[in-house]
Amino acid sequence: MSASLNAATAVAATAVDPACAEPLAVLGRDVTVPLVTGGEVTYAALDYAASAPALQRVWDDVAAYAPYYGSVHRGAGYLSQLSTDLFEQSRATVARFLDCRADDQVVFTRSTTDSLNLLAAALPAGCQVFVFETEHHASLLPWVDARVTYLNAPRTPAEAVATLERALADRTAPTGEGHGPALVCVTGASNVTGELWPVKELAAAAHAHGARIVLDAAQLAPHHPVSVQELDVDWVAFSGHKLYAPFGSGVLAGRADWLQEAEPYLAGGGASRKVARREDGGVDVEWHTTAARHEAGSPNVIGVYSIASACRALTEAGFDSLVARERRLIAAVREGLAEVPAVRVLSLFGDDAPRVGVISFVVDGWNSSHFAAALSAEYGIGVRDGLFCAHPLVRTLLGSEPQEPGECGAPEAAPGERSLNAIRVSFGAGTPDEHVERFVRAVGELVADGAKWQYRTEEGRCVPAV
């Protein structure tokens, strides 16, 4: 990278001082939105679990690189070579961020969903997959072409480990002889309850029974350090847009063998090393054995660089300080909600379970879409309502049959009527204390006094009536 680009990208984020515990600077922190009751207020973005706002540091780094943007790999020009170098440096940065093993591969994808679908396409023949019903759809659904064993929702971390051990001990190969390959897929932190899962213990159970394990770290990586080696997982997947990095990129990092032996996820330029016509009119293809094998097409260089920038920024800020501050915010939200009798917080593992800044709840007498709409329209607070692309888990927590149909985010009843959806508040490194304080106050006021505005259903959502 040129000296000028090095200088341009040296816009450093201020490290978080544990004594000051200030939020990291994110885009949108000063955006104001109108209230239906009159006036404007600074927007409180409390939907980090869906997409976290971009770190200012990431945006500045991308802006500094943008004039130097060029094609990646195979380009002879200076900007192409510089962009290629930056792309591969980003791969190394992500590997360090995840504490990968020396021979692991880091493959850049579009998202966590894309990463897990890539791995699903690379499963060896006869592979059996074990996945808890509590997973986000991104890690619940990609395995449809494999033999899948869905495990019931555990109610303690110990039960999760015991459930997996029993299932693995009972598995058989398709022929009934031996065990054959197996893969366990598990989340690091729930996108519904925020609860941390016993990943290291589940990995030990998987390996003890000859299985491999992939970690869905979409909700974990933005909040806690993730070490592939310490957790002893075989693969880890996450998305940039949850890690304070926009532009639609994701990561699948881990063991190379299954990826090298599988057909390319996409066939095309970049994945192939050599293509030649045969005498019979067809073509012979020699595919790459590196990460490029599954990165066909022109890569999302800016998206990849934004992930690397976010990894550096979070590392420099220090996870110890970020985690300590987030725990304080979690405690403030949970204590505030506990003071409102009509509120029921959803949990698998109980009140004492460690968690990240993701909390889902329901309010007696309120449709969740109606409540979320009032938070937005009357208080300038953005949360999420629905089933959060984790239908079986939310329905289990709400006491409904797990096979009952529904749509993510779509209420199933009119405002004020009971429906099977919930409200989710989520936050992270960029959340100011005031946003959390406003949210807690708003919940209490809405429950005590009701909405100040009339709402109606429009295209399946509750919106302010005009």
Which sequence positions are flagged as catalytic?
389
Residue 56, token pair as written in the block = 């200012």
**CA-to-CA distance for 198 and 160, rounded, in angstroms?**
8
**CA-to-CA distance for 410 and 389, rounded, in angstroms?**
11
**CA-to-CA distance for 31 and 449, rounded, in angstroms?**
28
Nearest to 215 by CA among 199, 191, 198: 199
- Helix H or strand E segment including 366: none
In the block, residue with structure tokens 């943008």: 66
DSSP 379-431: H-EE-EEE-TT-HHHHHHHHTS-TT----TT--SS-TTS--S-EEEEE--TT-
Torsion of CA 153, 156, 161, 164, to 10 degrees: -20
Helix axes 56-65, 301-317, angle to 10 degrees: 140
Q: Which residues contact 59 (CB under 8 A, 6 or more apart)?
A: 27
Residue 114, token pair as written in the block = 């894309």
Question: End-to-end distance of the chain based on CA atoms, in angstroms?
Answer: 55
- 32-34/40-42 β-pairing: antiparallel
**CA-to-CA distance for 64 and 216, rounded, in angstroms?**
31
Name 30's bridge partners: none
Name 106's bridge partners: 253
**CA-to-CA distance for 293 and 256, rounded, in angstroms?**
11
Q: b vs e for 276-291, b when ≥16 Cβ sit within 10 Å of the residue's Cβ?
A: eeeeeeeeeeebbeeb
**CA-to-CA distance for 107 and 91, rounded, in angstroms?**
8
